[in-house]
Structure formats: structure tokens, C-alpha cells
């Protein structure tokens, strides 16, 4: 499971960092982090795919969100027993706390 998160999170972090730095032209003297490189990369992808280059970042973001839902769904599926146990413990504890508060109220209102 750790490797799944590393192999999914690494490229997502790398792509998001590159896009944020290059879109805002924070280049640190590196051409690939410049706005010109950002425009050039998306222009090339637009030419290859035959679509408008301005639509590509939105499509990539939507794909990353969809992939994230799949990854977190797989994690939830693998850890469903622990998640259900925690949920049941929390609900049982809240019902016990509510019963304790109700008994405190009834005792404090006694003559």
C-alpha cells in the first residue's frame, strides 16, 4: 500500500509542482520552470492531440482528481474493517456519552 501511494503521489506532486512554478514563472534560472516552457509544452501536447492547448491543464486536473478517487477508494477497500471498527467505536462511545449526560441531568434535577 505504501508503494501504491508513493508511485501515485510522486508523479502527482512532481506535475503539480512543475505546473505551479512554471505557470507563475518562478524559474530559479531553469528553463523548464519558465512560463515559456509551460506554453511550449502545452502547445506541443495540443498539436499532438489536436485540441486547444488552454484546455489541457483542466483535463489533466480532472484526470488527477479521478485517479485520486480511485486510489483512495482502493485504500478504503483494503482497510474497510479498520474503518468500520473505528466508526462503530465512535458511535458506541458517543451513545455512552449521551447516556451519561442524560443521567447527570436527571440526577442534578433531583430534589
Over residues 43-73, the pLDDT tens digits come to 999 999 999 999 999 999 999 999 999 999 9
Q: Which pLDDT belongs to residue 55?
A: 93
8 Å CB contact between 19 and 57:
yes
Task: Summarize pLDDT for 29-42 with one digit per residue, the tens.
Answer: 888 888 899 999 99
Task: Summarize pLDDT for 68-109 with one digit per residue, the tens.
Answer: 999 999 889 988 888 888 888 888 776 665 555 655 555 555
Q: Is 51 left (phi over 0), alpha (psi -120 to 50) or beta?
A: beta
Amino acid at each position: 500500500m505504501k508503494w501504491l501511494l508513493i508511485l501515485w503521489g510522486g508523479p502527482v506532486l512532481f506535475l503539480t509542482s512543475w505546473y505551479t512554478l512554471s505557470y507563475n514563472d518562478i524559474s530559479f534560472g531553469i528553463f523548464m520552470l519558465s512560463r515559456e516552457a509551460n506554453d511550449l509544452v502545452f502547445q506541443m501536447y495540443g498539436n499532438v492531440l489536436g485540441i486547444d492547448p488552454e484546455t489541457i491543464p483542466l483535463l489533466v486536473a480532472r484526470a488527477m482528481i479521478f485517479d485520486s478517487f480511485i486510489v483512495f477508494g482502493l485504500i478504503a477497500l483494503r482497510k474497510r474493517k479498520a474503518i468500520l471498527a473505528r466508526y462503530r467505536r465512535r458511535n458506541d462511545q458517543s451513545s455512552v456519552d449521551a447516556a451519561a449526560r442524560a443521567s447527570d441531568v436527571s440526577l442534578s434535577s433531583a430534589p
